[in-house]
C-alpha cells in the first residue's frame, strides 16, 4: 500500500502514469486521436487554501490547553500544469528546496505523471503566524490529488492529515495540527489535548515528535452566519520566530512556576471566548481578546511593535490581541469598522489585512 492508499486517497490518475499502469498501456492511451484532438492537451489545476489566525489559546496549547483558530480570506493558490520539465515559479524545481511540495508529490501521492509547472501565489505575510506553509501544503495536496484524478473528491480531513505530515516533515518532526486543520476545514477550529465542551469532534491527530508521541483532538465550532464583525490583522513587518518564542516561555515557566497561573488564565479566557463566539456575542469575544493579550504580555511574548498596533486599534475595535507565537508577526482586531482599523494599523506603522471571521477551507478553483 502506498502513502496515498494509506490515507484512503485511492484515485486513478487522470493524466500521467498510474502507480501500477504498465508503460506500454500508458503510451497507447496517450496516442493522438483524430476524433478527439484535445487528447494531448496539457492539464491544468488550480487550488486554494486559506491562512489562519489564532483567536485564543496560543502558547497555552503547548501545555495541553485548547487553542481556537479561524480560517481567513487570504491564503495560498497553487496552479499545476503539465509541462515538458519541472519548474516552480519559472525556475527549475529542486525538490530539496521545497520540502512540503516534494513530500506531497513523492511520499504521499507517489506522483509518476508528466513534469509539472508549479505556480504559487500567496496573499499571506510569511513567517507572520498566518499559517502560510500549512496553506501551501493543503493547496498542493488538493491540486496534486485533482491533477491525478479529475473525479477525486476533496476530503478536507484527509487533506488536513496530508498537510500536517508535510509540515512535520519540513519542521524536524514537530508540528501541531492547528494550522493545517484550520486551513483544510475552514470556519472555526479548536485544537486541544481532549475534546472541548461545546465543540463538535472532527478527527484525532497524533504525531511522533522528537519528544515522544503527541495527540490532539481537532474539533469545530459552528459560527453564527450573520456575524456583523470583521477581523483586521496587522503585520509588524518583523518575522515571528515560533520555536524561539515557545522555548522562551518554557524557560520562563521553569524559572518562575507562578507563571503557570497565566496559562490557566489563558485557558479560562479561551473557554469564555469560545462560548461567546458560538453564541455570536461579539462584545464578549472582544473582551476575551483584550484579556488574552494582557496574559500574553505577562508571559513575555508581546513586543513594543505588537503593543503599539494593539493600542492603535482599540478605539475602533471590540477587542485586539497579538496572534500566534508573538515576538513579531501579527496582531488581530475584531471590529465593526474594518476600514478605520486598517487605517489605524497603517498609521501606527503596520500592514493591515481585512478578513471575514471563518472563511471556507481548501478548495479547487
Ligand atoms: O505563530 P504560529 O502560527 O506559529 O503559532 C504558534 C502557536 C503556538 O501556540 C505559540 C505554538 C504551537 O505549536 O501551538
Q: How confident is the model at residue 173, as a pLDDT?
A: 65
pTM for the model stands at 0.85
What is the position in ligand 1's atom list of the atom closest to the CA of 175?
13
- 200 Cα–ligand 1 center, Å: 22
Q: How confident is the model at residue 27, as a pLDDT?
A: 36
- 45 Cα–ligand 1 center, Å: 31
Task: Name beta bridge partners: 213.
Answer: 208
- 192 Cα–ligand 1 center, Å: 13
Query: Which residues contact ligand 1 via a Cβ below 6 A?
Result: 54, 58-59, 61-62, 129, 131, 176, 178-179, 240, 242, 245-246, 324-325, 329
Q: How confident is the model at residue 24, as a pLDDT?
A: 41
For 183-204, b/e burial (b = at least 16 CB within 10 A) is bbbbbbbbbbeebbeebeebbe
Contacts of 34 (CB under 8 A, 6+ apart): none
Q: How confident is the model at residue 67, as a pLDDT?
A: 96
Residue of 61, 132, 179 best suited for mutating to test ligand 1, as the one with most atoms within 8 Å of CB: 61
Contacts of 335 (CB under 8 A, 6+ apart): 229, 230, 231, 232, 313, 316, 317, 318, 341
Q: Closest by alpha carbon to 140, among 47, 9, 73, 43?
A: 47
- For the chain, 365 residues long, give each residue's pLDDT as a single digit of tens: 333 333 333 333 333 333 344 434 433 343 334 444 444 456 999 999 999 999 999 999 888 899 999 999 999 999 999 999 999 999 999 999 998 899 999 999 999 999 999 999 999 998 899 999 899 999 999 999 999 999 999 999 999 999 888 888 777 766 789 999 999 999 999 999 888 988 999 999 988 877 778 889 999 999 998 888 999 999 999 998 888 888 899 899 999 999 999 999 999 999 999 999 999 999 999 999 999 999 999 999 999 999 999 999 999 999 999 999 999 999 999 999 999 999 999 999 999 999 999 999 999 99
Nearest CA to ligand 1 atom 3: 129
DSSP letter assigned to residue 316: G
What is the position in ligand 1's atom list of the atom closest to the CA of 176?
13
What is the position in ligand 1's atom list of the atom closest to the CA of 178?
14
Nearest CA to ligand 1 atom 13: 176
What is the position in ligand 1's atom list of the atom closest to the CA of 242?
4
- 12 Cα–ligand 1 center, Å: 37
- What is the CA angle 205-209-215, rounded to 5? 25
16, three cell numbers? 500521467
What is the position in ligand 1's atom list of the atom closest to the CA of 246?
10
- 237 Cα–ligand 1 center, Å: 18
Q: How confident is the model at residue 123, as a pLDDT?
A: 96
Continuous segment of H or E residues that includes residue 271: helix 260-279
Amino acid at each position: 500500500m502506498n502513502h496515498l492508499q494509506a490515507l484512503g486517497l485511492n484515485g486513478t490518475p487522470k493524466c500521467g502514469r498510474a502507480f501500477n499502469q504498465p508503460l506500454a498501456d500508458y503510451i497507447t492511451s496517450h496516442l493522438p486521436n483524430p476524433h478527439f484532438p484535445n487528447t494531448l492537451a496539457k492539464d491544468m489545476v488550480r487550488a486554494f487554501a486559506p491562512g489562519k489566525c489564532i483567536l485564543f489559546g496560543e502558547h497555552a496549547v503547548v501545555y495541553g490547553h485548547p487553542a481556537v483558530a479561524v480560517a481567513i480570506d487570504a491564503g495560498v493558490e497553487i496552479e499545476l500544469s503539465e509541462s515538458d520539465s519541472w519548474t516552480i515559479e519559472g525556475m527549475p524545481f529542486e525538490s530539496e528546496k521545497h520540502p512540503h511540495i516534494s513530500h506531497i508529490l513523492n511520499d504521499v501521492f507517489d506522483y509518476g505523471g508528466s513534469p509539472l509547472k508549479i505556480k504559487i501565489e500567496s496573499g499571506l505575510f510569511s513567517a507572520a503566524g498566518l499559517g502560510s506553509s500549512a496553506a501551501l501544503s493543503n493547496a498542493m495536496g488538493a491540486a496534486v490529488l485533482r491533477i491525478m484524478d479529475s473525479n477525486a473528491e476533496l476530503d478536507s480531513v484527509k487533506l488536513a492529515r496530508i498537510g500536517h505530515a508535510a509540515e512535520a516533515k519540513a519542521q524536524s518532526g514537530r508540528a501541531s495540527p492547528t494550522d493545517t486543520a484550520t486551513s483544510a476545514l475552514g470556519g472555526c477550529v479548536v485544537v486541544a489535548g481532549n475534546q472541548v465542551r461545546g465543540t463538535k469532534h472532527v478527527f484525532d491527530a497524533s504525531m511522533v515528535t522528537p519528544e515522544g508521541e503527541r495527540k490532539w483532538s481537532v474539533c469545530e465550532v459552528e459560527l453564527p452566519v450573520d456575524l456583523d464583525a470583521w477581523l483586521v490583522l496587522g503585520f509588524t513587518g518583523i518575522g515571528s520566530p515560533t520555536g524561539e518564542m515557545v522555548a522562551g516561555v518554557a524557560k520562563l515557566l521553569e524559572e518562575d512556576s507562578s507563571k503557570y497561573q497565566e496559562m490557566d488564565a489563558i485557558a479560562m479566557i479561551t473557554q469564555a471566548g469560545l462560548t461567546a463566539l458560538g453564541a455570536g456575542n461579539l462584545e464578549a469575544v472582544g473582551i476575551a481578546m483584550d484579556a488574552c493579550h494582557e496574559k500574553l504580555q505577562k508571559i513575555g511574548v508581546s513586543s513594543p511593535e505588537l503593543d503599539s498596533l494593539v493600542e492603535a486599534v482599540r478605539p475602533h475595535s471590540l477587542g485586539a490581541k497579538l496572534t500566534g507565537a508573538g515576538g513579531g508577526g501579527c496582531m488581530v482586531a475584531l471590529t465593526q469598522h474594518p476600514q478605520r482599523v486598517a487605517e489605524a494599523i497603517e498609521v501606527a506603522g503596520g500592514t493591515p489585512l481585512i478578513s471575514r471571521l471563518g472563511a471556507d477551507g481548501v478548495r479547487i478553483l
